[in-house]
Structure formats: structure tokens, C-alpha cells
Structure 1
Amino acid sequence: MDSLPLVPVELFQVFLICTARVAGFVGAIPVFSGAQSPAQIKAGLVFAVSLVLFPVIADTLPPQTTFEPAPFIIFLGAEVLIGAIMGLIARLIFTAVEFGGTIIGYQMGFAAANVFDPQNERQVSLISQMQNVFAILIFLAIDGHHIFLRTAVESFHLLPPGGIDLSGEAVPFLIELSSHMFVLAVQFSAPVLAVLLLSGLILGILARTFPQGNVFLLSFPLNIAISFAVIALTLSLVSIVLRREFDNLADHFFTMLSLLL
């Protein structure tokens, strides 16, 4: 019986490099980054995508001449870090959605009503969880997860393995995107906050006009009803903002890859 041909060490090493970068990108997809996604599914997806991409990008990856464990592990860690940085850029959008929902929840009277978020493994407000689920649905509806896979393929041409450099403009660009997160949070929460401010002004005038009325107890159900009505009326506007941000993800990814050179 003929023995199976052995895979050269250099070829196997190149495949590990490809798998490490793909694992970073797949693990960074917001839908798969949570603990609710089974590790077996994520590992199987990484292996399947790596098998598909490896023959295509094998020529673009220079094979290593030596296989020293310690430097090679650091090399693989840098490849995973690339995907983690891309995941952080996408995660900023969902963080803005949750932050805006938290502000709305506190203003409408849901400060003490929190639920457990299985994706992030922490307590979040009810409105934050609702808006986060809405953002994930929009992300999947426009095939946002395909952006990560396309970027993973193009990244081998834009950023060769081992060429990551964080000393340039990459960190300032990431800080700029982080500051944009607060602008998005204000955009998501501004309609509800404006209506609640007007409602508080009207209730304050009623409290001064009719001192015998219990305006304080009336404000709780009224603010909740008004907030839900405004959220329902502005869902289409929120979806437009989310679609715009998700469409810009590819540009942000390629800009970051060029800055990591």
C-alpha cells in the first residue's frame, strides 16, 4: 500500500498563517463573537473558509524557511490581531447603538430594568438589548458578515503576513472612529430625548398650574408610552443610519489595512 505524500513544512506553515488571519476575521464578526455561538461552528467555519482561500492566496504568501515555534506563535498572534482590530471597528457601531439605548432607557424610567445579554455576557438595559437585536438584524439583512470575508481575502494583497505596524496612523484612526461612536449614540437617542425633554417641560408647567394633581406619578407611564411611540416612528430613520454605517465598514477596513503597513 502506498503511503500518503507528506505535506511540506513550509506549505503547512503558510496554511496556518492563512487560518490564523481568517480566524481573526471570523471571530470578529459581531454575530459570531458572542458566547452564544458554539465554538465548534466557529472552528468549522474557519477551517472551511481557510481551505477555500488557501489555494487562491497561497502564491501571495511567502513560505517561511524556518519553523521555530516561539517566533512563529508571535507571528500567528499578529495575524489574529488584524482580524481583532477589524472586529473592534465593527463593534463600535453596536456599542453606539447600545449606548444610545442606555441613555433612552434611563430617561424613560427603565434605569433599574436590565436583562442579561448572552452575546456580551453582561447586564444591559431593555432598550439597549432591543436596539442591539435590531442592529444585528440589519447587519445580517445587508450581508454585513460578507464584508469580513471579502476583507479577509483582500487583506493578504493589501497587508502581507507579518507586515503589521501599529506605530503609524492606525491608532489615531482607531481613536477617531471611537469618537465617532459617541456621535452615533447621540443620533440614535436624539429624537426620543428631544420628545422627553418637551414632555418634562409640559409636565412641569402642569405641576405648577395644578399643584393638587399628582403629576409625578403620571410622568412614568406617560414617558414610557411616548418613548415607545417615538422609537417605533423613528425605526426607519435608525435603519438608514445603520445601513450607512455598515456600508462604510469596507472603506474603514481597507483604510485601516493600508495604515497598518
Structure 2
Amino acid sequence: MLSELLNLNIYTYFLVFARVGSAIAVLPGFSSAWVPVRMRLVFAIGVCFVITPPLAQYLPPLAGSPIELALMVMGEMIIGFYFGVIGVILIAVLQSAGAFISLFSSLANAMIRDPIADQQSSLIAGFLSLLGLILVIVTDTHHLMLRALVDSYGLFEPGKMLIGGDAAHLVARKVSDSFNLALQMAAPLMVTSLTYYLGLGILGRLMPMLPIFFIGLPLQLLMQIITLMLALPAIMMVFMTYFQDGFVMFLAP
């Protein structure tokens, strides 16, 4: 009896860990290259210890064969990975907006290490990504991510695979929404840049001997930086609302 109870508890814990660990390995902030792998593992283990007792009622009974158990664990890992990918798509709106802004500001070739994408990104994209991650932590939005992960057990039944069509449709819709929102967030600088280029073109026609490039580029950088600082509060408010709404849909009603 004691052996059966012990096996059941171990099974329950590791089934929860399969989903939670996969999600934490991908979710923005937790999956940053600056966070050591051991810390992510310890954090995932600690979270599972806390949430396993209340989630035990949602879990299916112990599988009768190793193949069924392996399929069940694989399904949980896929769900956790899918949940994390949604978070990555949501925060990628800042990287896209930063790329657009860098293009309009003539800073597209100024590259730095992006802590979110874990690769080289434009200067403004890296700045916006880091600022967005700081706001996520400061506003306790990472608590919302963990709560949505726990409530996902009511939305995605444990032991069953994702519905491929619905899952792909949600990912495609989130990618489309993120791209559209990135364009909207970069719109103030796009309008400013187009207006400036129009004025610069007219000035070049009126004064052909004027060195437009040497005069125009420093002024463009200064103007776009000022515009970015003025628009930055609104940009980050729009991002935080979009990011939080993306996880609210996983919460239990």
C-alpha cells in the first residue's frame, strides 16, 4: 500500500513538472540566457512542489503501460512548450517594434546583445526588450504568467494532446497581432521620419549645393531619439496591456 501511494505521488509530481518545466524553459524572463540553467531547474522544482497538491485532482490515473506513460508525459511537455511559445510571441512585439524604429532612425546597423532573443538585435530593439522585461517583473506580471500556467490545467486537459488546428490558429493569430501592434507602436517615429525625409528632399531641391547627408543624419538621430522618449510611455503601456491580455485568456473564469 505504501509503495503504491509513493509511486502515485511521484507520478503526480513528475506529470506536473513535465508541463511546468517545459513552460518555464521557454517563457520570457525565466528562459533568459542570463538566468543559469540550474536556477531555472530549481525554480521549476519549487513551483511544482507548491502547485502539485491542488492540481492532483485534474490529473489522470497512473498509466498502465510505459508507452502510455511516455505519451502522457510527452503531451504535457508539448502543452508546456506551447504555453511558453505564446509568451515569446507576445514579448516579440517589442523586438519587431524596435527593429522598425531602428530602421526609421538610421540605427538598424547598431547592434547589441538582446537578452530576450539571445542574439544580436538592433540597439533600440534590445533597449525596448530589456525595458519590457523589467516592467513585467516590476508589475508582478510574471505572477500572472504562473497563475495562467496553473489555470491552463482546466483549459488543456492533462493526458490529452493539443488540438493541432486550434493551436496553430492561435499561434498564427498572435503572430499577426504582434506584427500589427509593432507597426502601430512604431507609427509615431515612422510619421516623423517620413515628414523629415520629405522636408529634407525639398531642401535638397531648393539648395543643391547643401551637404544634405552630413547635416540631415545627425538631426534625424536627434529628432528620432526625442520622439522615442516622448512616445515611450505610451508604447510601454500598450505593450503591457497586450502582454497581460495574452495570458488572461488562459485564466479560469
Which residue of 2 is the match for residue 17 of structure 1?
15
Cα deviation, residue 61, structure 1? 1.6
Gaps of 5+ in 1: 256-261
Q: 8 Å contact 2:99–2:122 — kept in the other structure?
A: yes
Q: Distance in 1 between matches of 2:117 and 2:167?
A: 26
Q: 8 Å contact 1:11–1:63 — kept in the other structure?
A: no
Q: Distance in 1 between matches of 2:60 and 2:71?
A: 17
Which residue of 1 is the match for residue 219 of structure 2?
222
1:99 to 96, 100, 107: 96
Q: 8 Å contact 2:148–2:248 — kept in the other structure?
A: no
* 52-61 vs 227-236, greater mean Cα deviation: 52-61
Q: Distance in 1 between matches of 2:70 and 2:174?
A: 30
Tell me the secondary structure at the aligned position of residue 197 of structure 2. helix
Deviations 1:202-244 (A, max 9, x none): 1111111111110111111111101100000011111220121
Which residue of 1 is the match for residue 70 of structure 2?
73
Q: 8 Å contact 1:25–1:87 — kept in the other structure?
A: yes
Cα deviation, residue 67, structure 1? 4.8
Q: Residue 165 in 1 paired to residue 162 in 2?
A: yes
Cα deviation, residue 30, structure 1? 0.5
Distance 1:51 1:67, change over 3 A: farther
In the alignment, residue 128 of structure 1 is paired with which amino acid? A
Cα deviation, residue 81, structure 1? 1.7
Q: Distance in 2 between matches of 1:150 and 1:59?
A: 17
What TM-score do you get using the length of structure 2 for normalisation? 0.91
Tell me the secondary structure at the aligned position of residue 34 of structure 2. coil
Cα deviation, residue 78, structure 1? 1.7
Cα deviation, residue 86, structure 1? 1.8
What TM-score do you get using the length of structure 1 for normalisation? 0.88
Q: Distance in 2 between matches of 1:166 and 1:254?
A: 19
Which residue of 1 is the match for residue 195 of structure 2?
198
Distance 1:131 1:65, change over 3 A: closer
Q: Distance in 1 between matches of 2:99 and 2:22?
A: 29
Tell me the secondary structure at the aligned position of residue 224 of structure 2. helix
The within-5 A match list for 1:1-261 is 6=3, 8-68=6-66, 70-254=67-251
Deviations 1:127-150 (A, max 9, x none): 110111111122122212112211
Cα deviation, residue 247, structure 1? 2.5
Cα deviation, residue 254, structure 1? 4.8
Tell me the secondary structure at the aligned position of residue 160 of structure 1. coil
Tell me the secondary structure at the aligned position of residue 37 of structure 1. coil
Which residue of 2 is the match for residue 259 of structure 1?
none
Distance 1:142 1:164, change over 3 A: farther
Cα deviation, residue 8, structure 1? 2.8
Q: 8 Å contact 1:10–1:65 — kept in the other structure?
A: no
Q: Distance in 1 between matches of 2:155 and 2:92?
A: 28
Tell me the secondary structure at the aligned position of residue 34 of structure 1. coil
In the alignment, residue 26 of structure 1 is paired with which amino acid? I
Aligned alpha-carbon RMSD (Å): 2.0
Q: Distance in 1 between matches of 2:96 and 2:126?
A: 10
In the alignment, residue 119 of structure 2 is paired with which amino acid? R
Identity of aligned residues (%): 26
